[in-house]
Amino acid sequence: MYNHAAAGGPNNWPPPGGPSAHSPRGLPGGGTASAELNQRIALAHGTHPYHHPVHAPGSAPAAPPSTPAARFRAKKKQHVETVERSIRDLEQQHRELEIEVNDLRKENGLLKEMVQLKYGARQP
């Protein structure tokens, strides 16, 4: 149930000065509704003064706001570059490890030959 006492009593409506006196927009009688409507229309048509293409003399034009799609493309491009760099690094490391494996195989073969020469055919 609505508590009239907490809201200032049952006789607090309409406020003094009419219904629009406490309205944040100040609608009927205030004259700001038409100004607000004009501002909304200007925003809808892109003619808001802050969005006007003409800039003050000596000032650089502002960068266009980045859209979520543009941010996604930039992030994806950076991710792809990072992955490609990782691939190049891993391929280089793979080549170096293959060379090391071949060297170790040769060394292992030479050591086996040395053991066979030293001990002959006595190995089980």
Nearest to 19 by CA among 11, 9, 28: 28
For 44-88, write each residue's pLDDT tens digit: 665 555 555 555 566 666 666 679 999 999 999 999 999 999 999
- Long-range CB contacts (< 8 A, 24+ apart) of 76-79? none
pLDDT in tens, 93-109: 999 999 999 999 999 99
pTM of the model: 0.41
d(CA 47, CA 51): 6
